[in-house]
Amino acid sequence: MAARANWKGVLKIGEVSCPVALYTAASTAERIAFHILNRKTGHRVHREFVDAETGEAVDAMEQASLRVDLVASLENLGPIRRSGRVPSVALDVAGRLGVRPVFRMRFGAVQPLASPRDTGAALARIQREWTTGGGPVTDRSAIFHADCHDLAQSLQRRLGHVDQVVELSAAMGIHTGRRVVGAAWLQPEAHRV
């Protein structure tokens, strides 16, 4: 994968202009990893995160969820209705208005962000969250979708560079409904809470 400039601009001295781009000195693609071995057995040692107060091991998935930002939009309110967490009256009204809910998933919790009435507004909200949440400067990012290549391509045009576009499996689509689209990215250090 080609290196992505952190900053681009023009250096102008008198009548001479020269394009300038700044790149990081090291990339994660060129990173060297060392394996820690158990001196007695020669087997690899795996790192485990432990709660400093309780001494209990913290699940690896929980650790990963602390570093990832995910913002997505559902085509309709069906998955929310099935969860049973929102009153039917509110869902009926939102359904009649044609709401395409946008939500964030962070720290393992779902947070509603907006209730736009059209796909363009939903994609714009995902783009705004991506921009303010560190998406453009992240090391890892993805656009995901369930059976909606058109929306994924539209979102990719809005966001610019992303590492990959992934289609959710049919098993995931059962939970999210068809035509869910969103972006997920590894939070840059400066954006981690």
Kindly state whether residue 32 falls inside one of the protein's structural domains: no
Kindly state whether residue 116 falls inside one of the protein's structural domains: yes
Q: How many CB atoms lie within 10 A of CB 60?
A: 12
Kindly state whether residue 74 falls inside one of the protein's structural domains: yes
Contact 71, 126 (CB under 8 A): yes
Per the structure, how many domains does the chain have?
1
Kindly state whether residue 87 falls inside one of the protein's structural domains: yes
Q: For tokens 């400039």, name the residue.
A: 5
Greatest CA separation for the chain: 68
| pLDDT tens by residue, 48-64 | 777 788 888 777 666 76
Tell me how far apart the alpha carbons of residues 186 and 94 are, in angstroms, rounded to a whole number.
Answer: 32
Kindly state whether residue 143 falls inside one of the protein's structural domains: yes
Q: In a structure prediction context, what are the per-residue pLDDT tens digits for the chain, which is 193 residues long?
A: 566 777 787 777 777 777 777 766 655 555 566 778 888 898 888 777 777 888 887 776 667 667 788 899 887 776 666 666 666 776 677 777 777 888 888 876 778 888 888 899 999 999 999 998 888 888 788 999 988 889 999 999 999 888 889 888 776 766 677 788 999 988 766 555 5
CA angle 128, 184, 174 (to 5 degrees): 115
Kind and range of the H or E element at 18? strand 16-22
Q: What is the CATH number of the domain that holds 72?
A: 3.30.1180.10
Kindly state whether residue 159 falls inside one of the protein's structural domains: yes
Kindly state whether residue 122 falls inside one of the protein's structural domains: yes
Tell me how far apart the alpha carbons of residues 28 and 118 are, in angstroms, rounded to a whole number.
Answer: 38
Kindly state whether residue 111 falls inside one of the protein's structural domains: yes
Domain that includes residue 92, residue range:
61-191
